[in-house]
Structure 1
């Protein structure tokens, strides 16, 4: 917004910062790399949000002073040549596991889905056991299994649409930590609340974790929240309105995603890594506590 130089007092009263390149212009947008406020004239489209001209020059290799710090994502992650690589790998793992399910049948799925406590004759390999019997790996492996073509298709489309922008904003390591911890949180809440002999599977807990972090990212960048909120509400309506859906995984993943996303995107710069990965560690500790408590109930 163009304003006369004499309106600086009004800017201070409005609470909005001013563009660091044009001090007479207030703005609600910040560069996704250096986080300095920039006005519409200075905004350069990036894969996520906008960058200022200085960061664009540094990222392209021109005007970059020797010894200067390398450009980072809004969360402090390294800028990658392929900002969607981890998302592609996760997609590949999910699809490969689904193919194995189709080739090997129920005996494969029954070994790796999430089930609390269910000792029963199984399909040719002795007894089927659950998390309560010590098979904690099911909390993780169930995140990469799906029950039908529609199930995996919907989850993988969501992963691609949401995961790509988030990976670009967080960086590979932080994004992968968000995905895995959110998925484990969804599995843990399912283990805690669902019937112990009810099997569940799917990447939905991790996907809802990405939803939660995306809400935090959009709010952090002061973008229009309405499309993201509308999409989240639609998914929550489906979660509670459609029979056979493990809503516990969705809610557990969503809560974890919001908490981790807030820690990732609002961590103070001087202690950024400590706060970010500390948040992930706290959520992972919560998963362990819930799992121990539920196991103690069932054994």
Structure 2
């Protein structure tokens, strides 16, 4: 299950089975001893839970402030330049749709491009969680244990409103290219109501969430070798300059340089491009249409 590619910084393990909870993907990472002092994080349209089982990982923001240990990053974290620093580590990463994260993490799902340590979030329970995982002898056992734990948390927690969940799935199914006024019209809501409910439960305003999803698909198209002009046309940007501005806003890089970022290679290996499949959204919930 480990990666044999020489250009990848870490050994990567992936579950043999999909999660029983739709909207969750997992991967395990082990340091190869070649991790550079700092790695740029690339924003992703998911809430990320990183469980550090051994070694040290620290997330550093643009001000230089570091948070060490296991942590949760909000939807789109990394938009202002954030770095990851690591020393001989082993960790399990869980990426969650914000719809699922709301049930698993509660208020922590609404971090809005921020990060919180699990110690701050759960106290002693955070250490117990990583100790239990670290004691398991194989990645498959760790994945299975984590999946069962996530399923229990989801079953016991309230979910986001069905209209909000539908709006998120509609955004991901259209690769972020749906206009927000059309989304509101399909729901039978005003734009203000959609903005308020979506922002409160997902963690970003709907327009910002759509922009993040579109960016994610665009940047992976670039990594796959498509030229910037073609990506701009395929992803609904007004022109190549518009794509350039979005890439710069999310990463501080250009379309030509962002493709070399290690985190995008990790995406390709650990989850496959362009990421976990999304369920095609059905019509809006009936109670929205009256």
**Structure-2-length-normalised TM-score:** 0.26
**Structure-1-length-normalised TM-score:** 0.25
Richer in strand (by share): 2
Higher relative contact order (CA 8 A, sep 6+): 2
Richer in helix (by share): 1
